[in-house]
């Protein structure tokens, strides 16, 4: 499987729309080569290092294939006319969560990256799109995007190839992983498999371990709606993030 990087995007932390919040979600396409290190691309920033970025979420990839579906679902928006609406670093066509598997290893320009988890959408998408239910829709749709950890740093530019090199877990496409995360939550046998899947991001493996131990599913309301909408008794970004 081979894709072309249609856009490489990075950006600094800045105000999120007209809100009092700040975020690194408003990324812009760059045409020069960028160094991809263990923690992400040169010039890329995150406002909340506790829940964004890090070794398991160094690079965010979103399929531009989904943009037409979003325009149909929530209406045409200027933000959907070009890559970057979802804060992605990489934009491609021709491959989605149904074709990408957890643990996939890709060459990316001169670098090597590994799929570590799908994206869990948060309330900042609601502000970004001016659509209060956007984060919930992204979660329900399965059109979430995904993250890479960096196996080998290197130079990357728009136009480079993103080529599959290894697929150790062909039975775990991201679409199936998301189905277990949000819908088949009581399938303990499958949850147990994910709790032991070493290539899965550490925070997600711990999430599935807690599900097994507690027999309950975490509260998503603070992540999806924000603290004020979710209520004072809900902890923003539960520890499973």
192-238: pLDDT as tens digits: 999 999 999 999 999 999 999 998 999 999 999 985 454 443 333 33
Cα(144)–Cα(123) distance, rounded to whole angstroms? 13
Domain boundaries, the chain: 2-226
Residue 138 confidence (pLDDT) above 50: yes
Q: Measured between alpha carbons, how far is residue 169 from residues 63, 103, 104, 239 in Å? A: 21, 6, 7, 26
Q: Which two tokens stand for residue 12?
A: 């600094």
pLDDT confidence band for 169 (50 / 70 / 90): very high
Query: What six digits make up the tokens of 71?
Result: 């325009």
Q: Which two tokens stand for residue 150?
A: 């960096």
Asked: is 2-226 a CATH 2.40.33.20 domain? The reply is yes
């Amino acid at each position: 499987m081979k894709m072309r990087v249609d856009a490489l995007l990075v950006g600094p932390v800045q105000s999120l729309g007209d809100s009092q919040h700040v975020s690194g979600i408003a990324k812009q396409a760059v045409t020069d080569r960028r160094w991809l290190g263990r923690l992400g691309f040169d010039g890329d920033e995150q406002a909340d290092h506790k829940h964004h970025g890090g070794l398991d979420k160094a690079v965010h990839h979103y399929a531009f294939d989904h943009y037409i579906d979003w325009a149909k679902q929530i209406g045409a928006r200027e933000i959907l006319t070009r890559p970057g609406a979802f804060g992605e670093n990489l934009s491609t066509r021709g491959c989605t969560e149904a074709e990408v598997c957890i643990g996939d290893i890709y060459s990316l320009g001169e670098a090597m990256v590994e799929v570590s988890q799908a994206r869990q959408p948060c309330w900042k998408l609601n502000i970004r799109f001016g659509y209060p239910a956007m984060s919930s829709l992204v979660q329900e749709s399965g059109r979430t995007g995904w993250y890479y950890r960096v196996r080998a740093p290197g130079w990357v530019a728009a136009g480079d190839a993103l080529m599959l090199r290894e697929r150790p877990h062909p039975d775990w496409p991201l679409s199936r992983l998301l189905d277990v995360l949000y819908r088949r939550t009581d399938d303990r046998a499958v949850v147990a498999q994910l709790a032991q899947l070493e290539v899965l991001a550490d925070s997600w493996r711990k999430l599935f371990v807690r599900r097994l131990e507690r027999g309950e599913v975490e509260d998503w309301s603070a992540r999806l709606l924000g603290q004020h909408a979710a209520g004072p008794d809900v902890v923003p970004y539960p520890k499973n993030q």
